[in-house]
Amino acid sequence: MTGLERNLKYWFSYVGKSIGQIYLMIVGIVAVMSFLDGSDFLMTFSKNLVMYLVMASAMSIMVFGFSNITIIFPTTVSFSSKRSTSLIGMTVAQHVMCILSFAVAFVFGLYIEPNFRPMAGPAIPVVLGGICFLFFIGNIMAVLSDRFGRTLGMVLYMLFVFALVFVIVFGYNYLAGGKGEALVQALFTNLGAASVIICALGVLLDVIGVWILAAGIKNKDLKF
């Protein structure tokens, strides 16, 4: 096996197991909750599952992103793996597992909300873009916590999130109220194009996040 194959094998197994345990727990809790609810079990189960699955996936991107880069990644390096291949393995495994869980949530979402089905096509790139955006945020959190420690890293991360929200809101208002008004209206009337743009932006940010993470760990003295 090449170094990359070993890393893909390990990271898929590790991330799969970690996320799998959480999802199993969620399914169990949601099943009990839905059973106790007394109404249509399948419908209640699906509604709850979608909500918890999306929440858990979004949280796991943040939590695992940090612990994987600070604890598991150094372990793989201590097993004589190249840093870059381990990072690729980690990134691919996390993305695939999270996309799969969002896909499950998406399918259940279509089941409980039939009116949403015609919009499923344009929604897929939006969901993908959203996942990529979450990974971007997760990677920024991992970089800041890894570099500045948990406390200061978390403070800087919060500042970063505030700044990001400000830029998004300010940027949207600026575009919607100014010369970009026509563009914004066009995007709202052409959901296909809007979803592709959102997806592309998400992917771009995700790539930037991974690149920042890779640059941060390239020549870093790892703590084992």
Partner 1 sequence: MKTLNCTGIVKKFGNNEVLHGVDLTLEKGKIYGLIGRNGAGKTTLLSIASGQNPATKGEVTVSNSDDIAVQPMKVWDNQDALDLICFSREINVTAGNQGIGGLKVKDYLRAARTYFPNYDKELEDRLVKEFELDVKKRMSKLSKGMLSMVTIIVALASRAPYTFFDEPVAGLDVVARETFYKIALEEFAESERTFVISTHIIEEAADIFEEVIFLDKGQVILKENTQELVERVVHVSGKEEEVDAICEGRKVYHVEKIGRSKAATVMLEPGEELKNTADITVQPMNLQQIFVAMCGKEA
Which is closer to partner 1, CB of 56 or CB of 69? 69
Least Cβ distance, residue 12 to partner 1 (angstroms): 11
Which is closer to partner 1, CB of 39 or CB of 80? 80
Alpha-carbon gap, residue 17 to 25, rounded angstroms: 12
Which is closer to partner 1, CB of 85 or CB of 110? 85
Q: Is 221 exposed, middle or buried (0-12, 13-18, 19+ CB in 10 A)?
A: exposed
Least Cβ distance, residue 100 to partner 1 (angstroms): 22
Alpha-carbon gap, residue 19 to 94, rounded angstroms: 9
Least Cβ distance, residue 208 to partner 1 (angstroms): 23
Q: Is-contact 142 69, C-beta < 8 A?
A: yes
Which is closer to partner 1, CB of 25 or CB of 167? 25
**Non-local CB neighbours of 86 within 8 Å, separated by 6+ positions:** 7, 11, 73, 76, 77
Structure-token pair, residue 190: 């052409």
Residue 154 CA from chain centroid, whole number: 18
Which is closer to partner 1, CB of 72 or CB of 210? 72
DSSP state of 222: -
Alpha-carbon gap, residue 154 to 141, rounded angstroms: 7
Which is closer to partner 1, CB of 118 or CB of 221? 221
Type of residue at 17:
K
Least Cβ distance, residue 16 to partner 1 (angstroms): 12
Least Cβ distance, residue 1 to partner 1 (angstroms): 7
Least Cβ distance, residue 22 to partner 1 (angstroms): 13
Q: Is-contact 102 54, C-beta < 8 A?
A: yes
Binding residues (CB under 8 A) for partner 1: these are: 1-3, 6, 9-10, 13-14, 67-68, 70-72, 75-85, 219, 221-224
DSSP state of 115: G
